[in-house]
Amino acid sequence: MYELFYGLKEKPFNLLPDPDYLYMSAGHENVFHHLEYAILENKGFVVITGEIGSGKTTLINFLLQKIPQDVQVAIFNNTDLDPHEFIKMACQEFELNVDGLDKVEMLDRLQQFLVEQYAARKRVVLIVDEAQNLIRRTLEEIRMLSNLETEKHHLLQIILVGQPELIHKLRSKDLEQFLQRVTVHAHLEALSPEDVGRYVRYRLEVAGATRLDLFTGEAVELIYTHSRGIPRLINILCDTALVYGYADELTVIGPETIQAVVASHRILGGLSGKAAAEPAALPERQEEPATRVLSKVLGRLKNQEMRILRLEAGSEQLERRLVETEKHRGKREILLVELLHLLRKTMEGHRALIDRHFELQQELSRREKSPGERQKPPRRLFPFSRR
């Protein structure tokens, strides 16, 4: 809408966790170095926390672009799982066929896979996003996975990423053994007032802005006040402000526009100048069986979407490597084979995702027709879809 008016190639303040738009503040750099150190040194349990919208998922996506080729990574976001379901999903993320196996058999299959990777001098990392939603029994199962190790090396490295209540949950008495296994913990802080200005200019620059002073200094100060330095809230404020500016044909966004945006976003106005309260430990959620099943289906679809995005990112990385090695014919041909293999897997993943989406729509239709149940309206399944 406003891109042409402001000389932008694309929208600079999208809410997608695009690693190309990651602004490396001191806090983000600190957490990234902790992650980099933990992976390079093969530390066991790693816990990364941060407020909602602080950029944890974007940072993880950035890490996936930089991770060494000899490290195999699985990542999933569906954390509404019991121990059996968690083990099954972990195996599926590593593309292990565990259909019809019980939990003990799946653990044996997973251990065999980890030993094979270790023998091939490859390391395996499992990243669990939104880990604050894991129930205690599943957290205990994750702790037990740390027993899969040799005398000197961990066979499986686990990174838990979540909101601050994850640490509150791990500090409970029944998870004391888990907390003792955590070797690296880092918390992602909000942006400072100075960083907010740099953050806004950086995203404008990445989006191809011809001028980086679209927001006045007074506007940036108000953005910090009402966002408290949380990147997601900054994006909401700035994107809406550009829409307002375009509508009013403003060449520069001043404080009046920001005030108008805040007034129209009561949720942001409610956060104005207030520090976030420290979250209390949340009780375990008790859901109706039908609702829980539907929640799991939605989570699995989201995980499949993330897997497809990682395959696409791998394809793009190989394309860049092909360009860099164009003069070396032999190496280029090898990379081309790898690229074609990745593209094939991406297409297979897309087909599977479409099939699962169709099945889910049928299931939702059946539930809506059932007179004994009240269903919530459908929600957006894939908030992380690639543009």
pLDDT value for 311: 57
How does the average pLDDT of the chain come out, rounded?
79
pLDDT value for 150: 65
User: Which of 357 and 3 is assigned the larger pLDDT?
Assistant: 3
pLDDT value for 264: 83
Q: Kindly indicate the confidence band of residue 350, based on its pLDDT and cuts at 50, 70 and 90.
A: low
Mean pLDDT of 246-253: 93
Tokens standing for residue 172: 């409970």
pLDDT value for 148: 76
User: Which of 375 and 157 is assigned the larger pLDDT?
Assistant: 157
Q: What is the pLDDT of residues 198-240, one digit of tens each?
A: 999 999 999 999 889 999 999 999 999 999 999 999 999 999 9
HEC assignment per residue over 62-122: HHHHHCCCCEEEEEECCCCCCHHHHHHHHHHHCCCCCCCCCHHHHHHHHHHHHHHHHHCCC
- For the CA atoms of the chain, what is the radius of gyration? 23
The Cα 29–Cα 383 span in angstroms is 25
- Kindly state the helix (H) or strand (E) to which residue 188 belongs, with its residue range: strand 182-188
Tokens standing for residue 28: 């983000």
* pLDDT higher than threshold 90 for residue 28: yes
Mean pLDDT of 341-346: 65
Mean pLDDT of 114-125: 91
Q: Kindly indicate the confidence band of residue 356, based on its pLDDT and cuts at 50, 70 and 90.
A: low
Q: What is the pLDDT of residues 153-196, one digit of tens each?
A: 788 899 999 999 999 999 988 888 888 889 899 999 999 999 99
Q: What is the pLDDT of residues 265-305, one digit of tens each?
A: 754 444 443 433 333 343 444 444 444 445 555 555 555 55
